[in-house]
Structure formats: structure tokens, C-alpha cells
């Protein structure tokens, strides 16, 4: 079994981004800028935003966080996004999800200029991804694709089972895999017999938010297992959706949690923001 070291790969990507930022500054006098919109006081969202801001600083980006109370109205959030759309120093706009219940998330995401949509959640970018055109791709599944590439894991013709079908994880993951010529099965909470699908897959990619959902008998010998789940359990530690100690014994490759897909998500956010800044330059 080989561990896929997301932390090391993310550090490598960040170093490359930092080098390109330096070049962009010198040659075009452009500094990539990211605006983060954070609503409410969800501790996990605050922690993620802090990590993103720190990563931006590390690679030399300009970044601002609009931190707003959860009493804010939808139109006030829209106003801020429109300001960021018009701001020439901002290349990427990210709205930290989830938003409070009184806000229509789909409406908010549609307001972001698709050219600044570094999370890849705008329907314009989703459509381009599905049709295999150049687009901003959601950071988590993009990070998983980067892992496959870095570890020379061939996807063409492979049977891949994606577990979880959310707009930000499972669906874009499935689209990317399909674009890479894999045979993709997408499973979710209504799937009748999950094991029947995961057990025959060459590659299992799981992102659901259920600790230990993927057990030893659900994975075939030599499979590649990518664990996107992040769950905080009772003792305070972080675990994924895979029963790592047992499943890892059967795998050819597996990602750990923490230190797997998580760091790649932030690295891909930097990479997407750099891409937007280059387009501006
Ligand atoms: P979500 O709640 O929006 O979607 C969960 C999906 O899993 C749904 O499609 C649902 O049908 C499916 N599901 C739920 N229980 C299931 C079960 N028992 N069997 C099969 N399918 C089931 O969640 P999300 O935003 O997609 O996040 C999923 C997980 O990925 C969470 O643990 C989240 O923390 C993690 N996540 C990690 C990163 C990262 O950077 N590593 C990024 C985003 C999300």
C-alpha cells in the first residue's frame, strides 16, 4: 500500500504558485487578489477561511475577507459580491458555504462573475466542466485529479465509484473522471446496495461525511481509495469516511485524513486564483 501524501503535494503546488506569482509581479505588475465572503459564526467555516487567508499570504496574494453577521440580508451580500466583481484588484471571489438558511445560496453563487468564480460553483463553469471545456473547476475534486496525476494513477477505462453526489464534491468529481475516460458510477444516500458498487471498482472516491462508511469488505484487493470526508469525532480527532486501518491493508493507494485531500483543496484554490490573475494580466 502506498499513502498518497496530500500535504507534500499541496506544498509542492504552493511553491510553484508562489514562483509564478513572483514572475507575474515582475513581468506584468499584477498581484493575484482573492476576496472571501464569510457569513455568520460557524467555527468550521471560520477555521477554513483562516487557513485560506494564511495560504494566500504565503504565496504572495492580496486577500481580503468580508466577515458578516448571520443577520445580513441577501441583497447586502449581493451588493458586496457586485463590488468585488467590479474591483480590478480582485481576481477570485469565494463565498464560504454553508450560508445561513434565510439566504438563497444558488442565487448568491449566480451573482459571482464567472471569470472570478475560483470555486467553480457558478452554473456557467459547471456547464463548461460537463462539456469538457476550459473552466474553473471546484477545488476539492480538482485536487483529487492532481493526486491521480502526481501518482501516475491511470484513469482511462477504469471502473470508478464515486460515493456522494453533492454539487461541490461528488458531481464535479464524476464529471472530471468522465472527461478522463473513466467508467463512472455515482452513488448516494438513496443507492440501494452501496457495497455492490464500491466492491467492484478499481478506484473508490468517497465524500459523504459519514465516519467509517467504507469498510474493508466494500473494497476490492488492490483498489485505489480516495477519502474526501472530514469528520470530527467524539474524542476531538479528525477522520475521513473510510475505515482507514482496515481498508488501507487492501489498497494499492489510499489518502489519509488529515493530510490527504484537505490540503489539496486549498492548494487548488490558490492555483485557480492564479489562473484568474493570469487571464487578467
Ligand atoms: P453534502 O452533505 O452536501 O453531500 C453528501 C453526499 O453524500 C450526498 O450526495 C448524500 O446523498 C451522500 N451520502 C450521505 N450519506 C450517505 C451514505 N450513508 N451512503 C451513501 N451516500 C451518502 O456534503 P459535501 O459538502 O459534499 O461534503 C461531503 C464530505 O466531504 C464532508 O465530510 C465534508 O466535510 C467533506 N469535504 C471535504 C473537503 C476537503 O477539502 N477534503 C471539501 C469539501 C467537503
Q: What is the mean pLDDT of each run of 10 residues along the chain (281 residues)?
A: 98 98 97 98 94 97 97 97 98 97 97 98 98 98 98 98 98 98 98 98 98 98 98 95 98 98 98 97 90
Cell reading at 158: 477504469
Instruction: Let me know if 52 is a catalytic residue.
Output: yes
- Residue intervals in the chain for CATH 3.40.50.720: 139-262
pLDDT score at 158: 98
What pLDDT, on the 0 to 100 scale, is given for residue 260? 98
The CATH fold of domain 139-262: Rossmann fold (3.40.50)
User: Which of 96, 106, 169, 214 maximizes ligand 1 atoms within 8 Å of its Cβ, making it the mutation to test the pocket?
Assistant: 169
How many A from CA of 191 to the centre of ligand 1?
A: 14
Collapsing DSSP to helix, strand or coil, 161 comes out as strand
CA of 27 to the centre of ligand 1 (A): 42
Domain 29-120 in CATH 3.40.50.10860? The answer is yes
CA 227 to chain centre: 12
- Evaluate: CB of 109 within 6 angstroms of ligand 1: no
261 lines ligand 1 (CB under 6 A): yes
- Residues 169, 177: Cα–Cα separation, whole Å: 12
Q: For position 227, what pLDDT does the model report?
A: 98
pLDDT at position 231: 96
Going from the Cα of 89 to the center of ligand 1, the distance in angstroms, rounded, reads 34
Q: pTM, whole model, 2 decimals?
A: 0.98
Domain with CATH 3.40.50.10860 in the chain: 29-120
Residue in 96, 117, 171, 202 annotated catalytic: 96
| 96: annotated active-site residue | yes
Q: Count CB-CB contacts under 10 A for residue 168.
A: 17
Choose, from 5, 119, 202, 241, the residue flagged as catalytic: 119
> Considering 5, 52, 91, 158, which one is annotated as catalytic?
52
Kindly tell me the burial class for residue 159, based on how many C-beta atoms sit within 10 Å of its own C-beta (0-12, 13-18, 19 or more): middle
Q: Is 265 in the pocket of ligand 1 (CB under 6 A)?
A: yes
Q: Give the pLDDT confidence score for residue 139 in this predicted structure.
A: 98
- State phi, psi for 217 to the nearest 5 degrees: -80, 0
Amino acid at each position: 500500500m502506498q499513502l498518497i501524501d496530500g500535504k507534500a503535494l499541496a506544498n509542492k503546488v504552493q511553491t510553484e504558485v508562489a514562483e509564478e506569482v513572483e514572475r507575474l509581479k515582475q513581468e506584468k505588475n499584477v498581484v493575484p487578489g482573492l476576496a472571501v465572503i464569510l457569513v455568520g459564526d460557524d467555527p468550521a467555516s471560520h477555521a477554513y477561511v483562516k487557513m485560506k487567508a494564511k495560504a494566500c499570504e504565503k504565496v504572495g496574494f492580496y486577500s481580503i475577507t468580508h466577515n458578516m453577521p448571520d443577520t445580513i440580508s441577501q441583497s447586502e451580500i449581493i451588493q458586496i459580491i457586485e463590488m468585488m466583481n467590479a474591483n480590478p484588484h480582485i481576481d477570485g471571489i469565494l463565498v464560504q458555504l454553508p450560508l445561513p438558511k434565510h439566504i438563497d445560496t444558488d442565487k448568491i453563487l449566480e451573482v459571482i462573475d464567472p471569470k472570478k468564480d475560483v470555486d467553480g460553483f457558478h452554473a456557467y463553469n459547471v456547464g463548461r466542466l460537463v462539456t469538457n471545456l476550459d473552466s474553473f473547476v471546484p477545488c476539492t475534486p480538482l485536487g483529487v485529479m492532481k493526486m491521480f496525476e502526481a501518482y501516475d494513477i491511470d484513469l482511462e477505462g477504469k471502473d470508478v465509484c464515486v460515493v456522494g453526489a453533492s454539487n461541490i464534491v461528488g458531481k464535479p468529481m464524476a464529471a472530471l473522471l468522465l472527461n478522463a475516460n473513466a467508467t463512472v458510477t455515482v452513488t448516494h444516500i438513496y443507492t440501494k446496495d452501496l457495497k455492490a458498487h464500491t466492491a467492484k471498482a478499481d478506484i473508490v472516491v468517497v465524500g459523504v461525511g459519514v465516519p467509517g462508511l467504507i469498510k474493508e469488505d466494500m473494497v476490492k484487493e488492490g483498489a485505489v481509495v480516495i477519502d474526501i470526508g472530514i469528520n470530527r469525532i467524539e474524542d476531538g480527532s479528525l477522520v475521513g469516511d473510510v475505515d482507514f486501518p482496515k481498508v488501507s491493508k487492501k489498497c494499492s493507494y489510499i489518502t489519509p485524513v488529515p493530510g490527504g485531500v484537505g490540503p489539496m483543496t486549498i492548494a487548488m484554490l490558490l492555483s485557480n486564483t492564479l489562473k484568474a490573475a493570469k487571464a487578467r494580466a
